[in-house]
Structure 1
Amino acid sequence: MYSVRQASAADLAGVRAVANRFGNLGGWPQRPDYLDRELANGRLHAGLAGDTVAGFGATFARGGLLHLADLFVLPEHQSSGLGRSLLESLLPRDAPRVTFASSDPRALALYVRQGMRPVSPLLYLRGPLAALPDHGLRPAPATPAEIADLDADASGGRRDAELAWYAALPGVSAYRLGDGYAMVRESGGALLVGPAGGRTTRACADAVLAVLARHRAAGTAKLCMLGPNPLLPLLLEARFTIADLDQFLSSGGDSMALDRYLPHPDLG
């Protein structure tokens, strides 16, 4: 017998066990992590097989836009309807919604049936910082409040509390350069970039490149970006490689700016 409920603190160990089966916590070496945040914001749902957590799903809100951050069901419980039940409990059909879908055709079909459509590939890049040009741009350290408007414009909605939560984590810094911004986290021997963006494609690119130059000593950077972003060919020319690939889906309307926004892989 399967059921879905809003997760409680008692469910979190089971949720983590599912997340670990899929390798989702590799980028979060210490607590609190994004699962703690999903639980705290009341948007984490547990899928149960009897009394055992067999799957989970979660969203982050950006204004009226819902980003489906997680939807995972253990392989032995897939094709049971549990994923569909989780999705229906998390995403009302009348709300604008987006997600990053894996290459699993079953997941893609599930999201399409829920009203979302494939829009663009989402590329996960990793590469050396040494080969990137330094254009002499110097970003200024910024508070979450100082980048909140820029983030809302590029990402599809305001999320002041999420930006403040992320900025307070160890190793996280926020920067602004004109009409562009970027948040970065030094962790696991690499610099994770995102969220980042700008009011124009040039402002986004300048901010991201300036932050990468500032943190050149980190050695390696990881970013995720949508296919239309003009930074993509520049980074590939600088010996970055595409480490993984997802599909960005949207229920329609103006949401993320495809050419001037770099999402965080877990926070959207």
Structure 2
Amino acid sequence: MDWQKGERSENVEVDSGDGDGGGPRFGGGRGLGLGGIVILAILGLVFFKDPTALLNQGNTGGQQVSAPRGQPAQVDPQTKDFVSAILGSTEKTWGDIFAAHGRQYVDPRLDLFSGGVNTACGAASTAVGPFYCPGDQKVYLDVAFFQELENRFHAAGDFARAYVIAHEVGHHVQNLLGIFDQVEQARRRGAPMEGADGLSVRQELQADCFAGVWANHSQQRLHWLQPGDIESALNAASKIGDDALQQQAQGRVVPDSFTHGTSAQRVKWFKAGFESGEMSSCNTFAGQP
């Protein structure tokens, strides 16, 4: 991937390590917005990590609480430049798409942290993996995750890393479109969150599809993909399916606990977005996901 062609974003910030990633944090899930802890649980499991690690659940009496103190994020210039280029390309892509539909796209910010960080959705540690917080409209990415992606998930390559960022930005797009609110309303009416047919799976697969839409538009504009790049993203998607991760972790697959979709589904919906380049191809909430 010739990522150097990408437009650079000015919305990448390197966390100072004081645990302050943005916005007030309160115990007991207060201050969560747009679906609260349920939506946060969806977003906190992007790579099948424990969603409760994203929240400080102590009895604080409503007092502000702190995240696990992180370390000042040590980000080498090339990594920061890469993240800036990918985020910048998502800003251009989604800005153009929203404008074509008579809407205004609001750029998210991306926080590179190490160890732990406070967010408007609660306190997060490295264990959570990459996530998006609707409360402060930020993507959070631990600087060590790219290495974990390669070592643990055997998903190497710049485009696999770009897919991770684009997936989280896909959640930001959902936020702007009001999809978080719609999911929360459906949950209140009794629609199941977990499970192979649950709202969580459908929301995550849509973020995969939106990542594919970004890949289509950025390729048309920049011609930056090289042989094997799409395969590296599809490989990453296949390695983080619920079935693959459950089989790896516990030796069996439990569809009733799915939150993100199977490997095949994640590949299917990324490809749907990439092949069409249209948001209309990403309605994962209709029919079978």
Q: Mark yes or no: TM-score above 0.5.
A: no
TM-score, structure 1 normalization? 0.28
Higher helix share: 2
More strand by share: 1
**TM-score normalised by the chain length of structure 2:** 0.27
